[in-house]
Structure 1
Amino acid sequence: MKNVLPDHVQEWVLHTVNSQGKIVAIQQLLGGMSSVMHKISIQSGEVLTDVVIRQVDNEEWLEEEPDLALHEAKSLEWAIDVDVPTPNLIAYDQSGAICGVPTVLMTKLEGVVELQPKNMEEWVDGLANALAKVHQLNADHFPYTYFTYQNLSTLEVPSWSSYKEQWRQVIDIVKGPCPKTRECFIHRDYHAANVLWTGNKVSGIVDWVNACKGPAGIDVGHCRVDMAQLHGVEYSDAFLTAYQKHAGELFLYDPYWDLIALIDILFGPPEVYPGWPALGVKGLTNEIIAHRLDEYMLSLLKRI
């Protein structure tokens, strides 16, 4: 077995999970951008246990949020009450004193990521239903609170788009008054690559490192802009319709949150999210992504 994790990290995992066991396989998981994740298989007698370890090695991210391991640990403890499977927290190394970098150890969920389903309607509905269940959870005493990733006061019209006036309208709107809305437990990075499937059913939601108390519309908007890039505005709109059906009276749609979620991902010229090709998506280009983001932006302005 290739030694892809330092010995001291493997020893910590074994000591934490089963000191009588033996690590028989380590596999790096695909799709992560802010951290390195591995599946670790531990054999003890005839029992094989799979766990997942996240090691946050993005220095820029850690400078902004040094408590990321603690954040995910608290999120996993809270998410256990969501009516969708989520990983169980096993242990965490908050500062990296043991593992070298902040680390979270958790159970592994069954299922695989599905980004190009055969039945798009079923897939969109499953994603929407799972998110609606997350938002049923109250977060009044959760210690982390929503904030925008962008500094709204310094926003500028994207140089890569020919729709300058329309983007200027978007910026004016997001700089304006923030609508009052119900706050709940939100994932904060909800998109198709963080949802697992077994057959045609959602089997779990992963990657809870950004979870917080905030507006449901941010989760909806983040998934919608992701959907618009992957498959186009048609499916982004279908997701909203499906989410509204499952959320019912708990959700009052306001396009403001869609615009905030759109602005939140624009840290330069549009690019294909590296996690998508790593997970098997082919055919996307930076030009396609830019075109779809413009289309999505224009569709949102029509909703204002």
Structure 2
Amino acid sequence: MIDHDEAGAVRPLTLAWVGRYLKASERIVKTEVLHGGITAEMRRLTVGTQDGNIRDLVLRTFVDPYFVEHAENLLNREAGSLALLAGTGVPVPGPVAVDPTASHCEYPSLLMTHLPGRTVLDDEGLETRIPLLARQLVTIHAVRPSERPQEYKAWTTADAVVPPDGADAAAWAAAIDVIRKPAPPYDGRFLHRDFHPGNVLFDVSPPCTTGPRITGVVDWVQTSWGPADLDVAHCSTNLAMLHGPAWGLRFADAYEEAGGVLASTASERLYWLLLDALAFAGGVALVVRPWQQAGRMELTTRAVEERLDAYVAALLDALG
């Protein structure tokens, strides 16, 4: 019998599909929901053998109609990225199997190995973690694939931005004018495209005398080719909303201190930073939910919208 709660149960066809990739002596002994994701169902599958050894796998399943429609591209992109990054300085899961069109499973699915560590979203220790995040992102951007992934896609446009209620109208109008301009020229880099603390695993166990270390970077479905500034901007916006605007402003400096190269002019940097920040307008509730599941209950939608508003104004003050 598999040990799981109802939410963690794997659907029958998917369970049979996973079984094809287990050894003859192995069976799934436990399933568990992994919280923190926005776009997919995530489950940890504990696999046991007759001699008592266990190992864990992770199952990603797209069930939302929008992501089911786009699953073939997204899951093939992630599986390809995981294979590409094996053996690099980027700790990623190993791809085990992918069913991007639900030919075997109830829904499009990706099976991969499980990494140790956990996400850390607390304010405590952030000053130590930011340089680690920056160095890891520099390593990602140093990857030179033989075939480039698809070009990045902007997640908003000037005409689509609706400022949060109570936002600084003048600041948001100025910010929207910035992203209305054509995108600056850039040197392309291999992008994670969704790099932020919620997609990075840390070992922060007490016996670790050298401090926290990154044990994994996950969620590679948005891998793209584009400016390093865009990945830096996405992590910066998340830091601003999670921990306060000042932390978002600090991440670009940490990235450069780690050896990363960003756009050469303040106006170019501002464009990419605002292109990401304004993409969260109207969608803050989506990121708040996993943060609250992780214990940050004080991060209400309204509180995070206020931080986003303050961050947009701070970017214009610093770089405008």
TM-score by length of 2: 0.88
Provide the residue aligned with 1:37 in structure 2.
42
Provide the residue aligned with 1:127 in structure 2.
133
Q: Tell me, yes or no, if the aligned pair for 1:157 and 1:168 is still in contact at 8 Å.
A: no
Indicate the percent of aligned positions where both proteins have the same amino acid: 29
Runs of 5+ consecutive residues of structure 1 not aligned to the other structure: none
- Alpha-carbon distance in structure 2 between the residues aligned to 1:18 and 1:140: 33
* Alignment match of 1:177 (pick from 176, 182, 185): 182
Task: State the shift of 1:75 in Å.
Answer: 1.9
Provide the residue aligned with 1:10 in structure 2.
15
Q: Tell me, yes or no, if the aligned pair for 2:36 and 2:291 is still in contact at 8 Å.
A: yes
Q: Tell me, yes or no, if the aligned pair for 1:28 and 1:37 is still in contact at 8 Å.
A: yes
Task: Give the SS at the match of 1:260.
Answer: helix
Task: State the shift of 1:272 in Å.
Answer: 5.6
- Alpha-carbon distance in structure 1 between the residues aligned to 2:190 and 2:59: 24
Residue identity matched to 1:10? L
Pair 1:146 & 2:138 matched: no
Task: Give the SS at the match of 1:31.
Answer: coil
C-alpha spacing 1:214/1:81, structure 2 compared with 1 (3 Å):
farther
Pair 1:189 & 2:194 matched: yes
Task: State the shift of 1:145 in Å.
Answer: 1.9
After TM superposition, which residue ranges in structure 1, 4 or more long, deviate above 4 angstroms?
Answer: 268-272
Task: Give the SS at the match of 1:105.
Answer: strand
Task: State the shift of 1:196 in Å.
Answer: 0.3
Runs of 5+ consecutive residues of structure 2 not aligned to the other structure: 205-211
Residue identity matched to 1:242? A
Q: Tell me, yes or no, if the aligned pair for 2:163 and 2:282 is still in contact at 8 Å.
A: no
C-alpha spacing 1:64/1:7, structure 2 compared with 1 (3 Å):
closer
Provide the residue aligned with 1:274 in structure 2.
289
Pair 1:241 & 2:247 matched: no
Q: Tell me, yes or no, if the aligned pair for 2:164 and 2:282 is still in contact at 8 Å.
A: no
C-alpha spacing 1:159/1:110, structure 2 compared with 1 (3 Å):
closer
Task: Give the SS at the match of 1:224.
Answer: helix
CA RMSD of aligned residues (A): 2.0
Provide the residue aligned with 1:289 in structure 2.
304
- Alpha-carbon distance in structure 2 between the residues aligned to 1:140 and 1:297: 37
Deviations 1:140-199 (A, max 9, x none): 62232201122x253345252442222111111111021111111111111101100012
- Alpha-carbon distance in structure 1 between the residues aligned to 2:132 and 2:77: 27
Q: Tell me, yes or no, if the aligned pair for 1:126 and 1:202 is still in contact at 8 Å.
A: yes
Q: Tell me, yes or no, if the aligned pair for 2:164 and 2:281 is still in contact at 8 Å.
A: no
Task: Give the SS at the match of 2:21.
Answer: helix
Task: State the shift of 1:206 in Å.
Answer: 0.6
Count residues with an aligned counterpart. 302
Q: Tell me, yes or no, if the aligned pair for 2:158 and 2:179 is still in contact at 8 Å.
A: no
